Chains A and B, each alone.
Chain A
Amino acid sequence: MKVEGTYTLPASRQKVWELLNDPKVLAKATPGIKQLDPLGGDTYKATIEVGVGPVKGTYAGQVSIADKVPLERMTLKVEGGGKPGTIRATGELRLEEQDGKTIVAYTGDAHITGLIASVGHRLIGGVTKQMVGEFFKALENELKS
């Protein structure tokens, strides 16, 4: 399953980059993250709680940041498993500054197994879009605070 889109944040690229690299902000902004513990080297142990339609569950896994080109792009990798199945997702973020604002272009690909795949597959696209929206909204709120 693939997602892509753009989101404009009212801040400089520098500011947005800093936010995206702050584990505290990531933990706060990413929907469903209950816990994020650094394992070193841009890798975090994560506990994520997500509901896809009737399939609700807690997933234990890892979040890592790779392919970093400061101020330009980064790749977020999420791997987790729980009672309803497993998730393997990668998301690439590209940052571009325009008139003091930053446009974040994102593309993502997720592989899911188990009950979330069989029961939730028709809803997961919508849920993902909603989560991406919530993530950027939360980043925007961080910028305001």
Chain B
Amino acid sequence: MVISHALGARIKRREDPRLITGRAIYVDDLNFAGMVHVAIVRSPHAHATIRSIDTTAARRAPGVVAVWTGEDVKARCGPLPVGPRIKEMKAPKRFPLVIDGVVRHVGDPVAAVVATTMDAARDASDLVEVDYEPLPSVQDPEAALEPGAPILHQDLGTNVCFRMTYGGGNVEEAFAGADVVVKTRIVQQRLIPAAMETRGVVAQYKGGELTVWTSTQIPHVVKTTLAETVRLPEHEIHVIAPEVGGGFGSKLDVYGEEGLVAALALALGRPVKWIESRRENFIATIHGRGQIDYVELAAHHDGTVAGLRVRAIADLGAYSQLLTPGVPTNTGLMCCGCYRIPNAHAEVIGVFTNRTPTDAYRGAGRPEATFLIERAMDLLAAELKMDPVEVRRKNFIPPAAFPYKTPTGAVYDSGNYERALDKALERADYRALRDEQAKLRKQGRYLGIGIATYVEITGLGAVAGLSGGNWESATVRVEPTGKVTVLTGTSPHGQGEETTFAQIVSDRLGVPVEDVVVLHGDTRAVPHGVGTFGSRTTPVGGSAVYVAAEKVKDKAVQIAAHLLEAAPADISTDGARFTVRGSPERSVEFKDVARMAYKAYKLPAGMEPGLDVTHFFVPKERVFPFGTHLCVVEVDPDTGEVTFRRYIAVDDCGNILNPLLVAGQIHGGIVQGLAQAIYEGVTYDDEGQLLTGTFAEYVVPQATDVPAFELDHTVTPSPHNPLGAKGVGEAGTIGATPAVVNAILDALAPFGVKDLQMPITPRRVWEALEGNSASR
């Protein structure tokens, strides 16, 4: 692809000045006359029957306007979406408040108190008396599968939401004929997405229109589903995602509070606001990961992998949210990683537990897949006494094999895995690192070198069952003065398309980036769109902008040709000016063409006025970015502390639209990935109480906790979209977790430590070394 003055340039994010100077408008910044505030009463029990709810005292409290329980919701609201339907899936209905008298996780919403101020609402919510009869609860997804385990949803009669299998070849034969088999059990701990801005909803019903401002990644999906939840015609609903302070998947959902606040606004005839507290964010917004993976890898003595067997048990939590089942199924699909594994079988089981529901969190099933195969490759290398690099090299899918179909059913578009690996090794000076490692070990110092080679899926599709298929919309509108307005169906919360999409338009039309404005997140302004998740903004949303801009350009050339009395084929353009080839004096400026486009009598016969194109882009297939992450750590055997020495990431996201934004995405991604490796982890007690309930217990890394990143790229364009781009929003997270864990375990190899539970805290390292003290 041509990298022009605009595309591929290091342009600073245009959205940042307003974000970092406090001028951006978030949901909580909205205030309307007569607005009332909602506080939600939530279950303190993991599993209990509600005997009764007494709202008398709360109703009498100062400032209280209304108190709703499940009974009120039953009369006013329809159900919430429960995920993409997959075969034989059993998913319980969900409503904005518990309506069947059973709470199923700490944080399940039981009642809503509406008052004239937020403080009054919160104070009065303490006066709602809920009489609970605690029920036995089940916390561990494997325990939930056992006969006799407490059943969450009695009407389903089982805790199993779904079972799916992926695979091909002959796995039994492959294992029987293999020289070695390595096995491991991996616990992907739950993570709290911890977006900087918690959720929030404001709703107002005025003049026959319901307007809902919500901190979401998918405003159009919220609009469509709200029509059912609050029983209003969809065209009377207007959803706006104002500035959104991070999501990481946690706002890729339709939450009960969106329906609840909208229903309250309709019922009360006043603007209603609900802002999630941080405590609620920890218990009532989805968690990520939560998976137990049994992995077996069979191989020959020379390191060639013969077969892979995976059993993934996914902790879904108490309910199926919008995409819950779609997360672990990604793990089944992607478990073969970058390797040519002829025989593979993956069973994925989704299980309900008495915990906060899980759903998509940065990577959504691909980090789990990458982690399990990358750990297995390191275990295999150790078993065969091979270098982990060589085992990977031996099994890579070769560049000539693309498009490559894995036995699990994924079709990889393009790749050159060895090139990315070589670049990382070269940059790290891998041989010298291994020499240094050997030298330091003799001095009683433990250096670890971890490698993760990943491939993942991006440009993910629409929400199945809601919009259908994988597509995104874009409008490129040239105003009569030549300025350009772009409307996109994607809905950013840190992706930066106000910059990159302007770059695409600037590249196509030749107008300066400053002349392009990119609007998003408003369902009244933007044609129906899908939203932002699965690293789809650039490959799907950006491609829609690209095609729309191309169509605008074609029309502009026709208008210019008509004005210059030449054939369209004879018109050349540098964007700013259209010229008749060979006659440089016969030219017209872009802005004059724009003005003429709106003067019907100046146009060629039969041409519609306007210079305004909407395109719904459908990619041929999903795209598969890849790369190699290499992490160097030193582990102090006396304290168990892990210190980062170096972190090298070579990522291939196809063509790069803006290197600054790509680096930003990789940086943030790596931080979240290494955080899973050594810092973050949700802990519940046996009764389903969240023990990591604040940022004091749940450790999100700070700037001083992470190393400097050395980034590099290879470029393997995707054939599936005109930009040749692959998404990059999740790659860093996917590569980082196994790279860091492999590095720590490489450092601890002399102690015979083969596995450690994440987050690998100093205490866990120290305890493992104490347990293996004989080998010291």
Residue among B282, B685, B689, B691 with the most chain A CB within 10 A?
B689
- Contact for B279 among A86, A111, A112, A115, CB less than 8 A: A115
B694–A119 CB distance below 8 A: yes
Residues of A contacting B692 in the complex (Cβ-Cβ under 8 angstroms): 118
A111–B687 CB distance below 8 A: yes
How far apart are the CA atoms of A85 and B687 in the complex, in Å? Answer: 14
Main SS at interface, chain A: mixed
When C-beta atoms are compared, the residue in chain A nearest to B686 turns out to be A111
Residues of B contacting A86 in the complex (Cβ-Cβ under 8 angstroms): 44-45
**Residues 14-42 of chain A: 1 if any B CB is under 8 Å from the residue's CB, otherwise 0?**
00000000000000000000000000000
B608 contacts the other chain (CB 8 A): no
A118–B44 CB distance below 8 A: no
Give the B-binding residues of A (Cβ under 8 A). Answer: 81, 83, 85-86, 111-115, 117-119, 121-122
Contacts beyond the supplied A86-B44, A113-B44, A119-B693: 6 A-B pairs with Cβ under 8 Å: A117-B693, A118-B282, A118-B694, A118-B697, A119-B694, A119-B697
B126 contacts the other chain (CB 8 A): yes
Residues of A contacting B201 in the complex (Cβ-Cβ under 8 angstroms): none
Q: List 27 A-B contacts (CB under 8 A).
A: A83-B126, A85-B44, A86-B44, A86-B45, A111-B687, A112-B689, A113-B44, A113-B687, A113-B689, A114-B44, A114-B106, A114-B689, A115-B279, A117-B685, A117-B693, A118-B279, A118-B282, A118-B690, A118-B691, A118-B692, A118-B694, A118-B697, A119-B693, A119-B694, A121-B685, A121-B689, A121-B691
How many A-B residue pairs have C-beta atoms within 8 angstroms? Tell me: 39
Name the interface residues of B1-59: CB closer than 8 Å to any CB of A: 44-45
Asked whether A118 and B693 contact (CB < 8 A) given A85-B44, A113-B106, the answer is yes
- How far apart are B596's CB and chain A's nearest CB, in angstroms? 65
Tell me how many residues of B have a C-beta within 8 Å of chain A: 16
How far apart are the CA atoms of A85 and B126 in the complex, in Å? Answer: 10
- How far apart are B537's CB and chain A's nearest CB, in angstroms? 35
Residues of B contacting A121 in the complex (Cβ-Cβ under 8 angstroms): 685, 689, 691
Residues of A contacting B697 in the complex (Cβ-Cβ under 8 angstroms): 118-119, 122
Residues of B contacting A119 in the complex (Cβ-Cβ under 8 angstroms): 693-694, 696-697
**Residues 669-692 of chain B: 1 if any A CB is under 8 Å from the residue's CB, otherwise 0?**
000000000000000010101111
A118–B126 CB distance below 8 A: no
How far apart are the CA atoms of A119 and B278 in the complex, in Å? Answer: 13
A115–B45 CB distance below 8 A: no
Q: Sorted from nearest, which 6 A-B pairs have the closest CB atoms? A: A118-B693, A117-B689, A113-B44, A114-B44, A83-B126, A118-B690
Residue among A81, A83, A113, A121 with the most chain B CB within 10 A?
A113
How far apart are the CA atoms of A117 and B45 in the complex, in Å? Answer: 11
How far apart are the CA atoms of A68 and B351 in the complex, in Å? Answer: 44
How far apart are the CA atoms of A114 and B687 in the complex, in Å? Answer: 11
When C-beta atoms are compared, the residue in chain B nearest to A121 turns out to be B691
- How far apart are A10's CB and chain B's nearest CB, in angstroms? 39
- How far apart are B409's CB and chain A's nearest CB, in angstroms? 41
How far apart are the CA atoms of A114 and B132 in the complex, in Å? Answer: 14
Asked whether A113 and B45 contact (CB < 8 A) given A118-B689, A118-B694, A119-B694, the answer is yes
When C-beta atoms are compared, the residue in chain A nearest to B106 turns out to be A113
How far apart are the CA atoms of A55 and B143 in the complex, in Å? Answer: 32
Name the interface residues of B236-284: CB closer than 8 Å to any CB of A: 279, 282
When C-beta atoms are compared, the residue in chain A nearest to B694 turns out to be A119
How far apart are the CA atoms of A17 and B428 in the complex, in Å? Answer: 74
How far apart are the CA atoms of A114 and B688 in the complex, in Å? Answer: 10
How far apart are the CA atoms of A86 and B106 in the complex, in Å? Answer: 12
How far apart are the CA atoms of A118 and B687 in the complex, in Å? Answer: 12
B693–A115 CB distance below 8 A: yes
Residues of B contacting A83 in the complex (Cβ-Cβ under 8 angstroms): 126
- How far apart are A21's CB and chain B's nearest CB, in angstroms? 30
How far apart are the CA atoms of A1 and B697 in the complex, in Å? Answer: 18
